Amino acid sequence: MPMAADDFLHRISRHRIAPPPVTGDVSAADLVDGAMLSYNGGRLRELCQVFARKMLEPDCTVGLTISGALTPAGLGMSCLIPLLKAGFVDWIVSTGANLYHDTHYALDLPLHQSLPGLDDFKLREHDIIRIYDIVFDYKTLLDTDAFYRELLVSDAFSRSMSTAEFHFEVGKYLHARSSTLGGTPGNSLLAAAFEAGVPIYTSSPGDSSIGMNAAERSLAGSGLQLDTLKDVNETAAIVYDAKRSGGTSGVLILGGGSPKNFILQTEPQIQEVLGLEESGHDFFLQITDARADTGGLSGATPHEAMTWGKVDPDRLPDAVVCYTDSTIALPLLTAYALDRREPRPLKRLFDRREAMYDQIKAAYLERVSSGLPTGLAAREKQKARGQDQPSRDPSHPDTVDRAR
């Protein structure tokens, strides 16, 4: 018998739209919950709720990706560092450019807010660099380059290392330098990550001014080698440890690009390549302006990622994509999380890198010695349970309020 119209409407309704009036003293968190009800405002509300209510549970290991020019816009100081200090971010994959521009702040080299649409020929004539509506002196680049070339001569950088080790050493120096000069180490994401024991990886270390200066040092005979293969195994080890210890793994993706794939490929590395039993990340939150229909990775949906093993099919209700600008969404998300959750103890994953690496290596070698084939264990187990289908209709992604 067909379902009555009222019953069907009630089944698909999350709640009736009847928001309270916005007042001048409303908090950012209450504004998100009370006024951002539909369209991408609704998706931002859902993303904030999943992040604060589920990803920030003590047993979830939270990975963050950073792409786009966020640190030049001051979002490192205003948002990312407070999230790190609160224990809300446990590890990071960033473009090298964001870390290079973060260094300007650590060195007290100013960037300025301006306007878009300036005469770029006049800017070039006056040695002014522009990032849309941000401007700064060309000398800022030269001084930052000189800092890295001088730093990379030191013994700490005369060996092969993962990018997490590299950024730890840079952050260590920036933190000590700022403290010695009476500055504020909290101005730098690299320094804050060092202090909090948060490992920062770069998926394409050569694709930035930091990599360019490291390449210059290589021509001069430097022994520095950035071991990207170690990065692949270390990041997979972080996720494997999170799941093997009985916890969960969540990713917060700002933008897309190479950092997005690098943090998500940890699961195919575990399952498909190393042949270990796993099902995918438990939480997938993305803020992006990239469309899915162009076929690019930046716009690829969590449902598409699920087919690759990157996201657990049973956890798709906890996957949210908000189509907006990170410079709009990130301050609101930060304010929401800090308002709704108490700080978490720091996991200090950098200090545990070697132990996690040894754990995944031992599991891999045991699998090899057993003769089991790669890429089948997790999927076969899911199929045996009859759970190889997505757990909800992707056309109805907003399930959070119903579970309140």
- Give the helix/strand (H/E) hosting 321: strand 319-323
CA separation, residue 155 to residues 81, 160, 179, 214, 292 (Å): 28, 12, 22, 14, 46
Give which of 317, 226, 231 is closest to 266, Cα–Cα. Answer: 231
Q: Which residue is associated with the tokens 């949906």?
A: 301
Q: Is 273 exposed, middle or buried (0-12, 13-18, 19+ CB in 10 A)?
A: middle
- Distance CA(335)–CA(82), nearest Å, equals 10
> Tokens in use for 20?
């309270």
Q: Is 242 exposed, middle or buried (0-12, 13-18, 19+ CB in 10 A)?
A: buried
Task: State the CB neighbour count (10 A cutoff) for residue 340.
Answer: 17
310 is catalytic: yes
CB 119 within 8 A of CB 183: no
Single out the catalytic residue among 310, 361, 381, 383.
Answer: 310
Buried b (16+ CB within 10 A) or exposed e, 301-336: bbbebbeebbbbbbbbbbbbbbbbebbebbebbbbb
- Supply the residues annotated as catalytic: 310
